[in-house]
Amino acid sequence: MRRKKQNKLQSIGEVLSSVLKKKGMNSKIEENALLKLWPKAVGPQIASKTQPDCFRGGTLFIKTVSSVWVQQLHFMKEEIRNKLNELAKRNIVKEIRFAVGYAPIQLETAKNISSTRRSALKERDKKMIADCTEALSDRELAAIFERIMLLEISRRRQMENKKVR
């Protein structure tokens, strides 16, 4: 009788990585990891005025708050690219492109809007929002979705109030 060859134990990360690679999702994981390095590479001031958009074919696309920021970051492009590659521990970013299109929302402002508008909502609105967002497993996405729903319901209430007057 032949003995089966015993394989060494693999970590869950290794197993998941190989499965995702077979499914063609490894590039998305690499992209996600790279986008998370952005704040470390540029620091808090630049990170507050920019947001990584996507990574395709060695090019990292970044959205900024204004054309002034696009211009300034263009001058720093090589330094940022080198820092990203250093943090990623390989030469993955070949080019960085900057464009206007990021509109940061201040966290405190968002919380104030949410709490003010939530108190103005009817109970059925609150229940509907809770029902819609509890099904989402990604809590960050659920919070974004909740803010959008709060804003839209509040906007509709304001429109209704203007028509009544």
Q: Is the pLDDT of residue 110 over 60?
A: no
Q: Tell me the pLDDT tens digit for each residue of 1-37.
A: 565 555 678 788 788 778 877 877 777 777 888 888 9
Residue 5: what pLDDT? 58
Helix (H) or strand (E) holding 66: none
More confident: 2 or 160: 160
The domains found in the chain, sorted by start residue, are 19-100 (3.30.300.180), 107-164 (no CATH)
Q: What is the mean pLDDT of the chain?
A: 81
Q: Is the pLDDT of residue 108 over 60?
A: no
- DSSP count for the chain of H helices, then E strands: 7, 3
Q: Tell me the pLDDT tens digit for each residue of 125-140.
A: 888 888 888 887 777 7
- Beta strands 59-64; 50-56: pairing state: antiparallel
Distance in angstroms (rounded) separating the CA atoms of residues 86 and 80 = 10
Distance in angstroms (rounded) separating the CA atoms of residues 21 and 27 = 8
- The model carries a pTM of 0.55
Distance of CA 160 to the CA centre of its chain: 34
